[in-house]
Amino acid sequence: MLHQKKILLGITGSIAAYKSALLARELQRRGAEVRVIMTPSATEFITPLTLATLTGHPVHSDFTENKDSGEWTNHVELGLWGDAFLIAPATAQTLSAMVSGTCDNFLMAVHLSSRCPVIAAPAMDLDMFQHEATQSNLKILKSRGVPIIEPESGALASGLEGKGRMAEPESIANWLENWFRSKAPLAEKKVVITAGPTHEPIDAVRFISNRSSGKMGYALATELNALGADVHLISGPVQLSAPAGVQVTRVETAIEMHTIALKSFETADIGIATAAVADYRAKSSSSVKLHRDEIPTAIQLQENPDILADWGKRKRGTQVLIGFALETDEGVESAKSKLARKNLDFIVLNSTQNEGAGFGTDTNQISIFEQNGKSHIFDLKSKKEVARDIVTILLTHLPQ
Ligand code: C5P
């Protein structure tokens, strides 16, 4: 969730400022880009050099960059740069200045010029925190939509015990991640995705399968998770590791995939079937390895359930259903007929006629046909970019 997020980290004059270095590191470790501004008193607790070295960007605490040349620091530009302005630690003095709109230092000027959400993580002694004035300031800030990351209880620098310690860097980073997640376009949406091939056993070591790598389904799961969705990936046997933040259930056969997929779809908002489910399984299979002379020369097959078609029969309300069609010919008519037959909102067609598209490759060339008659033809792209295109169209199908 913090990947490529721009975090403007404001540090004010509290002993907790020493933790801001660890906080900057933690945010960067999670993929965020961090720029630091400090109040003059914060620079007495921790040096700008430390923060500048850690973040790889100059740290600003003054309106002038270079007094001799008259070069000034652009507080408006910094205020516009961030996706969030996190003030951690935020002293009682800063909280009060935030309420009154005081602009007596560079950080407070950025505060007034920032268009991104401002978040404060207070840090102070327990009596200062409990004081009616501080509590009233916090209330006003909350009522203005400034989220407050509550301080923790414990030993304070004064020697007293109580509430006032700035939340630990890891807790602040977790808080930010959850906050970004709650603002993401797919926040609170549950998605179930089937991916990969299935293995239909003939005996204990042999099976019927296909060349699906699962890459498209995994790329979609990653993209949807990044947009805040709660993703359940039901994966056939593939050589891919679980995308971070995605719940993965690994299965072997179509029957197993079918059972789990139907259950998961009951509570899902979106169902996406990328799996190349084997259409047939062997009517009977052996639980031990068959010897060469025991292997039947003809294997009787039995039809597997169509997971996507069964989702389509159960689809209700605002649930959105997306199917895939892989065809070795042009395939438009066949894809459109699946779109209607399986009760889909849209279908993604990739034809193996196009070089670089389909099974096993890292790229794909798709066309999308929507149930409302619209169609889209895309260029050959990486599966990651293809996943983005699919999600862009998916977003237009969600209730506003
Ligand atoms: O096999 P077919 O071309 O009909 O596959 C089209 C779509 O149906 C794909 O999205 C695939 O994941 C899904 N499907 C399924 N269960 C099957 C066969 C296909 O979910 N048994």
Residue in the block written with tokens 């039947």: 296
- Measured in Å, residue 220 CA sits from the centre of ligand 1 at 17
pLDDT confidence bin for 66, thresholds 50/70/90: low
Q: What is the pTM of this model?
A: 0.82
pLDDT of residue 18: 95
Q: Rounded to the nearest 5 degrees, what angle is found at the Cα of 57, between the Cα atoms of 55 and 60?
A: 110
User: Taking Cα atoms as reference points, which of 88, 95, 94 lies closest to residue 138?
Assistant: 95
Which atom number of ligand 1 is nearest to the Cα of residue 272? 10
pLDDT of residue 400: 78
> Which among 253, 307, 348 is the best mutation to test ligand 1's pocket, defined by most ligand atoms within 8 Å of the CB?
307
Mean of pLDDT over the chain? 93
Q: Are 151 and 164 in contact (CB under 8 A)?
A: yes
pLDDT of residue 358: 67
pLDDT of residue 304: 98
- Measured in Å, residue 105 CA sits from the centre of ligand 1 at 62
Residue nearest to atom 13 of ligand 1 (CA): 308
User: Which residue out of 74, 174, 210, 354 is catalytically annotated?
Assistant: 210
Pairing of strands 207-208, 200-201: antiparallel
- Does residue 67 surpass a pLDDT of 90? no
Which atom number of ligand 1 is nearest to the Cα of residue 305? 21
pLDDT of residue 389: 96
Q: Rounded to the nearest 5 degrees, what angle is found at the Cα of 297, between the Cα atoms of 294 and 299?
A: 100
> Which among 260, 277, 313, 343 is the best mutation to test ligand 1's pocket, defined by most ligand atoms within 8 Å of the CB?
277
**CA 152/CA 174 separation, integer angstroms:** 15
**CA 84/CA 104 separation, integer angstroms:** 21
- In the chain, the N- to C-terminal Cα span, in Å, equals 22
- Exposure letters 42-75 (e unless 16+ CB within 10 A, then b): bbebbebeebeebbeeebbbeeeeeeeeeeebeb
Name every residue whose Cβ is closer than 8 Å to that of residue 197 and which is 6 or more positions away in sequence.
209, 210, 211, 212, 214, 236, 237, 238, 275, 276, 277, 278
Q: Rounded to the nearest 5 degrees, what angle is found at the Cα of 120, between the Cα atoms of 114 and 124?
A: 135
Name every residue whose Cβ is closer than 8 Å to that of residue 76 and which is 6 or more positions away in sequence.
113
Report which DSSP code applies to 102: -
pLDDT of residue 206: 96
- Measured in Å, residue 276 CA sits from the centre of ligand 1 at 6
**CA 271/CA 275 separation, integer angstroms:** 12
200-215 residue pLDDT tens? 999 999 999 999 999 9
Would the CA dihedral through 202, 206, 212, 214 be positive or negative?
positive
Question: Which pair of structure tokens corresponds to residue 334?
Answer: 């066949």
- Measured in Å, residue 278 CA sits from the centre of ligand 1 at 9
- Measured in Å, residue 297 CA sits from the centre of ligand 1 at 28
Question: Which pair of structure tokens corresponds to residue 12?
Answer: 């004010």
Indicate left, alpha or beta for 393 from its phi (over 0: left) and psi (-120 to 50: alpha): alpha
- Does residue 357 surpass a pLDDT of 90? no
Q: CATH number of 190-395: 3.40.50.720, 3.40.50.10300, 3.40.50.10420, 3.40.47.40?
A: 3.40.50.10300
User: Looking at the chain, which residues constitute the CATH 3.40.50.1950 domain(s)?
Assistant: 6-183
Which atom number of ligand 1 is nearest to the Cα of residue 304? 21
Name all residues whose Cβ lies below 6 A of ligand 1. 194, 254, 273-275, 277, 279, 304, 306-308, 323-325, 338
pLDDT of residue 336: 95
Would the CA dihedral through 227, 229, 235, 241 be positive or negative?
positive
Which atom number of ligand 1 is nearest to the Cα of residue 310? 20
As to burial, measured by CB atoms within 10 angstroms (0-12 exposed, 13-18 middle, 19+ buried), residue 28 is: middle
Name every residue whose Cβ is closer than 8 Å to that of residue 141 and which is 6 or more positions away in sequence.
95, 98, 99, 120, 148
CATH 3.40.50.1950 assigned to 6-183: yes
pLDDT confidence bin for 242, thresholds 50/70/90: very high
Which atom number of ligand 1 is nearest to the Cα of residue 311? 20
User: Looking at the chain, which residues constitute the CATH 3.40.50.10300 domain(s)?
Assistant: 190-395
Pairing of strands 320-327, 270-273: parallel
Residue in the block written with tokens 């004064």: 158
* 210 a catalytic residue: yes
- Does residue 35 surpass a pLDDT of 70? yes
- Measured in Å, residue 338 CA sits from the centre of ligand 1 at 9
Which atom number of ligand 1 is nearest to the Cα of residue 323? 10
- Does residue 51 surpass a pLDDT of 80? yes
pLDDT of residue 8: 97
| Amino acid, res. 166 | M
Q: Are 281 and 254 in contact (CB under 8 A)?
A: yes
For the chain, helix (H) and strand (E) counts, in that order, are 13, 22
User: To 10 degrees, the CA torsion angle through 352, 353, 356, 362?
Assistant: -10
- Measured in Å, residue 275 CA sits from the centre of ligand 1 at 7
Q: Are 106 and 73 in contact (CB under 8 A)?
A: yes
141-198 residue pLDDT tens? 999 999 999 999 988 888 888 889 999 999 999 999 999 989 999 999 999 999 999 9
> Which among 208, 324, 341 is the best mutation to test ligand 1's pocket, defined by most ligand atoms within 8 Å of the CB?
324
Residue 54 has phi, psi (to 5 degrees) of -65, -40
> Which among 209, 308, 315, 344 is the best mutation to test ligand 1's pocket, defined by most ligand atoms within 8 Å of the CB?
308
Provide the CB-side half-sphere exposure for 210 (13 A, CA): 19
pLDDT of residue 102: 94
pLDDT of residue 76: 72
